[in-house]
């Protein structure tokens, strides 16, 4: 029998076997505000599952995708919220669940590079070389879209589409079993920190999505790097992520890599969302190309527009000429905030803990060593959610050098802070 799980109201654990009666029962539950959750016993063996319950879970999740429902699943970066990219009705469920602005395109996930032929018209040589080097992996490549290959909602009406092949056994197994290209942004409410565990997904989306495949914590922790090869052969980084600029340069040459523009649009996604159209207008490319105000082109890739990743409290970044100057300024601001009744939070690097007075903030979270930013990338979103759990209303975060993974970490922090930076000790 299905049973309520401890995560919260409406979460249903699936029985190991599924009869025709069971499928009918699941369909009935999906008409109610419930989310089906499968806890995989051995995620690492998902491509050739030994466990009968894992095989059944993957089959059921793939069936939901084929039926036009949404399923959250783990990737090596963050958890994604997937839907059949060829179905406008299915893709609209992503936008509705997330509260996502309609001009924000989605990334299409595939399990086999051969799927590109049916989705795009061309793969430039530089893009092919980068795929050879980093697929499967945290690299999304924006390519010319083949007409009618996916729903116009996926591309936001653009003539390009971002595609990636994730490097996670559960994701690859699900994509293979579903047999369709799967559009999948991060599985969180738009503007919130991205989810790196199934529990994070359920915190934001329980009752709003069809199912969640729990395959444990994501490894990289930050979304994929998004690139586009321009007409002159240069590689434009549209969003920094798990593949660094240095790694891209190792394949195509340093002179061929164009750095991302700094984020400038910090509109809250909730302020940009307008009610979805119905009927034929819902899929119209002209309606999808602009933001809620009806002006401005759709961004070429996710993460280029709107505030993202934000905790509920107000976040600011502290940047200074030295760690000591940053700590002195932050400690003073936190003390002032506490005196006026704020619940304070501090996000810092492990080496700098001794620079702060004891109890500098009500909630202090370390991102690990500044010398090894892999830990910061992996734990950033969980750290931001920790502040929510603590009820923090005023949060300060240390800046880090924008080199290597630091470029992606600072990109996410700037978006989470809506561009608010305190320059101290300069």
Q: Which residues are annotated as a binding site for L-threonine?
A: 77, 109, 164, 184, 224
* Cis, bond preceding 177 (omega within 30 deg of 0): no
Q: Which of 35, 384, 399 is nearest to 205 (CA)?
A: 35
Q: Which of 30, 26, 55 is nearest to 40 (CA)?
A: 55
Which residues are known binding-site members for ATP?
Answer: 100, 104, 160, 186, 194, 239, 309
Taking the C-alpha atoms of residue 334 and residue 315, their distance in angstroms, rounded to an integer, is: 12
DSSP state letters, 178-236: HTS-EE--BSS-TTSPPPSSHHHHHHHHTTTSSEEEE----SS-SPPEEEEE-TTS-EE
Tokens at 86, concatenated: 């060829």
Rounded to 5°, angle at Cα 264 from 317 and 93: 100
Cβ distance 237 to 245 under 8 Å?
yes
The neighbouring-strand residues paired with 314 are 394
Cβ distance 243 to 141 under 8 Å?
no
Taking the C-alpha atoms of residue 156 and residue 183, their distance in angstroms, rounded to an integer, is: 12
Which residues are known binding-site members?
Answer: 77, 100, 104, 109, 160, 164, 184, 186, 194, 224, 239, 309
Helical (H) or strand (E) element with 15: none
């Amino acid at each position: 029998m299905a049973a309520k799980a401890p995560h919260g109201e409406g979460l249903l654990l699936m029985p190991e076997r599924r009869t025709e009666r069971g499928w009918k029962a699941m369909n009935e539950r999906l008409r109610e505000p419930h989310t089906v959750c499968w806890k995989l016993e051995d995620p690492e063996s998902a491509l050739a599952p030994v466990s009968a319950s894992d095989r059944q879970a993957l089959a059921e999740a793939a069936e939901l995708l084929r039926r036009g429902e949404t399923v959250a699943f783990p990737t090596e970066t963050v958890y994604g919220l997937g839907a059949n990219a060829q179905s406008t009705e299915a893709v609209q469920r992503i936008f509705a669940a997330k509260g996502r602005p309609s001009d924000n395109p989605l990334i299409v996930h595939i399990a086999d590079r051969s799927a590109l032929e049916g989705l795009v018209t061309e793969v430039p040589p530089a893009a092919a070389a980068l795929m050879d080097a980093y697929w499967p992996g945290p690299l999304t490549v924006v390519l010319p879209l083949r007409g009618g290959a996916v729903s116009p909602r996926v591309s936001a009406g653009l003539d390009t589409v971002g595609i990636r092949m994730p490097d996670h056994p559960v994701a690859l197994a699900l994509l293979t079993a579903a047999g369709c290209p799967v559009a999948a942004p991060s599985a969180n409410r738009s503007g919130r920190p991205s989810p790196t565990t199934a529990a994070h997904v359920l915190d934001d989306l329980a009752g709003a999505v069809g199912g969640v495949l729990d395959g444990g914590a994501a490894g990289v922790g930050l979304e994929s790097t998004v690139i586009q090869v321009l007409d002159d052969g240069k590689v434009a980084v549209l969003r920094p992520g798990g593949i660094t600029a240095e790694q891209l340069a190792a394949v195509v040459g340093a002179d061929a890599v164009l750095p991302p523009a700094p984020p400038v649009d910090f509109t809250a996604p909730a302020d940009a969302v307008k009610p979805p159209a119905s009927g034929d207008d819902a899929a119209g490319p002209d309606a999808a190309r602009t933001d809620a105000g009806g002006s401005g082109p759709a961004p070429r890739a996710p993460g280029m527009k709107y505030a993202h990743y934000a905790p509920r409290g107000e976040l600011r970044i502290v940047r200074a000429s030295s760690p000591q100057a940053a700590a002195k300024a932050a400690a003073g601001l936190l003390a002032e905030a506490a005196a006026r009744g704020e619940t304070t939070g501090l996000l810092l690097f492990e080496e700098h803990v001794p620079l702060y007075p004891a109890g500098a903030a009500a909630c202090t979270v370390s991102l690990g060593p500044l010398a090894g930013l892999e830990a910061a990338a992996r734990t950033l979103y969980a750290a931001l959610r920790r502040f929510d759990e603590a009820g923090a209303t005023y949060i300060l975060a240390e800046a880090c050098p924008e080199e290597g993974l630091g470029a992606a970490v600072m990109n996410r922090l700037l978006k989470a802070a809506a561009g608010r930076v305190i320059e101290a000790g300069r």
